[in-house]
Amino acid sequence: MTDVAVVGGGPAGLSAALFTAKNGLDTVVFDTDETWMHKAHLFNYLGIESEDGTAFLEDSREQADSFGVDRRQGEEVQTVEQDGDGFRVVTGEGDLAADYLVLATGANRGLAEELGCEFTDEDVVDVDVTMETSVADAYATGAMVRAEEWQAVISAGDGAAAALNVLTKEKGEHFHDFDTPADAE
């Protein structure tokens, strides 16, 4: 059992995982490492002058790991389904129950379709501004929800939006993940 299951280990998935784990939620990321980031070089990501996509992923994984994310590298999710008030994530290694689900599988929308999420006329997953789908407590991010705007920085923002909504629900009030210089000391 975990609080948050994230399917996908690119910018959206790792961003969501970072926010939720950093703020005390047990978070598991399933990452097959099939992200487009391995084909990218970042010049347009705020705060990064120039970085290879694979190096960016390594840095992002290390940061998520430092906050206690349970990253299941190479573990492929076969199916996801609603299970009572939560979700069941099924892999070749077994099942995992989760209260919240974040889908971050790029343009592969199969799991969202299987889960019963609504789609738009553009054949992308229909989400609100918090990235929540028509299935309560299930979120979709990045290329799953956009016909063409596939950028690492947009995807990371989608993951953050999903995570902040999860944290808002958990805390019972609008939640901001805002640190000050004193927090870093």
- Provide the whole-model pTM: 0.95
Look at residue 75 and tell me if it is in a domain.
yes
Beta-strand ranges (E) seen in the chain are 2-7, 27-31, 41-42, 51-52, 70-73, 77-83, 86-91, 94-103, 138-140
Q: What is the pLDDT of residues 41-88, one digit of tens each?
A: 999 888 889 999 999 999 999 999 999 999 999 999 999 999 999 999
Residue 99, domain extent: 2-171
Burial environment of residue 17 by CB neighbours within 10 A (0 to 12, 13 to 18, 19 or more): buried
Counting residues of the chain whose pLDDT is more than 70, the rounded percentage is 100
The pLDDT assigned to 119 comes to 97
DSSP state of 39: G
pLDDT tier at 38 (50, 70, 90 boundaries)? confident
Distance CA(178)–CA(157), nearest Å, equals 15
- pLDDT greater than 80 at residue 150: no
28 part of a folded domain:
yes
More confident residue, 152 or 169: 169
Q: Is residue 177 part of a domain?
A: no
The CATH number for 134's domain is 3.50.50.60
Q: Are the CB atoms for 46 and 69 separated by under 8 Å?
A: no
Domain count within the chain:
1
